[in-house]
Amino acid sequence: MRIAMAQCNPTVGDLDGNVAALRLAYEHALDAGADLVMAGELALTGYPPEDLVLEPAFITAVSEGLSALAESVGSVPLVVGFVDSVEGSGTSLPLMNESQAVKRLANAAAVLRGGTVEATYHKQRIPNYGVFDEARYFQAGESVLVTSVGESRVGITICEDLWGEGGPVEASAAAGADVCLSLNASPYERGKRDARERWARHHARHGSMWLAYCNIIGGQDEVVFDGDSFVTAPDGTVTARGAQFAEDLVVTDIAVPRWEPVDPGSGLDHEAMVYEALVLATRDYLVKNSFSGALVGVSGGIDSALTAAVAVDAVGPEAVTLVAMPSPHSSQGSLDDAHALADALGARYHVLPIKTAMEAFESSLATLFEGTGPGVAEENIQSRIRGTLLMALSNKFGDLLLATGNKSELAVGYATLYGDMAGGLAVLKDVDKTTVFALSRYRNDNHRAGWLGPEAAVIPESTITKPPSAELRPGQIDTDSLPPYDVLDPILVQYVERGRSTGEMIGDGFPAETVQEVARMVDRAEFKRRQAPPGIKVTTRAFGRDRRLPITQRWWA
């Protein structure tokens, strides 16, 4: 049997566009001789549709879109994810119009064949953790679906059904499936490929069957889907693999019960995957939300340089504007680095000095500030002036302002509300400072197909090697306020991403005083993070939907 996995980039709510993309993928699959075509989880609606599914008109349009798609499908079946209406009881919310008969919803997969919806499967394991909020909307299915394609028996499952022992995948095998299809909308995060493949191999071996894992790609608000679809043989060998962070049609032959192993390739390394995720998510955020381009405030520092490089690789230098806003505390070296960055990237570049604005603010505040020494308030005025200027340019010309702060800074509150935190998307929100350095080196040493920026190194070497500094006062460096990043970042990984207590970290040998101070800074900064723009998730636990803590609370461990 020849299976085609359509690794598409759906846009949430763009039902007509998603149907058109699925039709095109199906036609290409037929041209490639496919016997079966599959797409990803909720490929018809985009994932996650969130509260759109509570609007009756949206659910009606989904049903109409599925019927229209089915009319394009002939004898070769297409299996596609959509939102289904289910009459009866359940645990999910009713549709918003309570005057109608109460309907419940299911995260579903439809088997389209011969112009009709031949069968429907409802996802049985409903995730409600991290970025997943499906229990708010969907009731769990209870039945296995196994259908025939030629002489083969094909089981159908959806995403979370794969994770864990037993469950729908093993039930499909017990019901006689030779092949199990796994439709996915699985967000990228570091290390997730290994976890996905581990469960796929487990179920393939346990059920003595093939497993085809089809994932979507694309950026959707905070999350980015990496594709990386694959097929696993009954002995657990990966025999085919789709592209990472790119649309793809993966066509592969499987033999039931005999097969020949094929080397699918090893894929991208760690830095490459993270950088690709940032580029794809930034591009999709800009394009899908119809922004004309990107705007980045560049200081000569490494965070703004990496953000600018990602933006240019995402949408091209002609769509990116870089703005340097020097103060009297800005070093000449930083100004030179900002200019060199703009030249290397080929982006538009402007310089807006803020000395006059600083003097105006100081004059306005002089009476109230009388008798006090200069401090953080005066430093942050500089950042807020820059935020105001950048937002003015964004409003005037329609470009999206990209915030440049990294995860380390946001974690400990080393960021200014309404200043450097201003923007519509925080590209590095889930990228710690250590990784910022690694990604900058990676970008200078590499250029991949699909990037729209120059092939040469783009980030000045001096930007990478100089001590990080906000340059808000003479001689300032980050370690005046923070532990060195090679000390800070491992503590943040343990505390934020792995949820470990201070006691556990100290027991593991981390310095007690530093651990306790870092934890206090993280907890105190929650009110700032709640006001930060959305950012791109690349780790197991990002700030935002992954980590939702109360601002007002007195628990500290």
- Pairing outcome for strands 294-297 and 320-324: parallel
- Rounded Cα gap, residues 245 and 173, in angstroms: 31
Catalytic residue flag (residue 41): yes
Q: Given the residues 41, 134, 276, 471, select the one marked as catalytic.
A: 41
Q: How far is it, in rounded angstroms, from Cα 379 to Cα 547? A: 30
> How many CA atoms are closer than 13 Å to the CA of 185, on its beta-carbon side?
30
Residue from 159, 214, 276, 497 carrying the catalytic annotation: 159
3-state SS class at 294? strand
- Rounded to 5°, the CA angle 420-527-275 comes to 50
- Distance between CA atoms of 445 and 258, rounded to whole angstroms? 43
Residue 182 — φ and ψ, nearest 5°? -120, 105
Write down the residue that tokens 């079946």 correspond to: 77
If you search the block for the tokens 């093993």, which residue do you land on?
170
Known active-site residue 123: yes
Q: Is 241:230 a contact under the CB 8 Å cutoff?
A: yes
Place of tokens 């864990």: 164
The catalytically annotated residue of 50, 55, 64, 123 is 123
Whether the CA torsion 405, 410, 411, 416 is positive or negative: it is positive
| DSSP run (H or E) holding 155 | strand 152-158
Closest CA to 477 of 334, 321, 287: 334
Helices 485-492 and 433-445 cross at an angle (nearest 10°) of: 110
The residues that are catalytic are 41, 123, 159
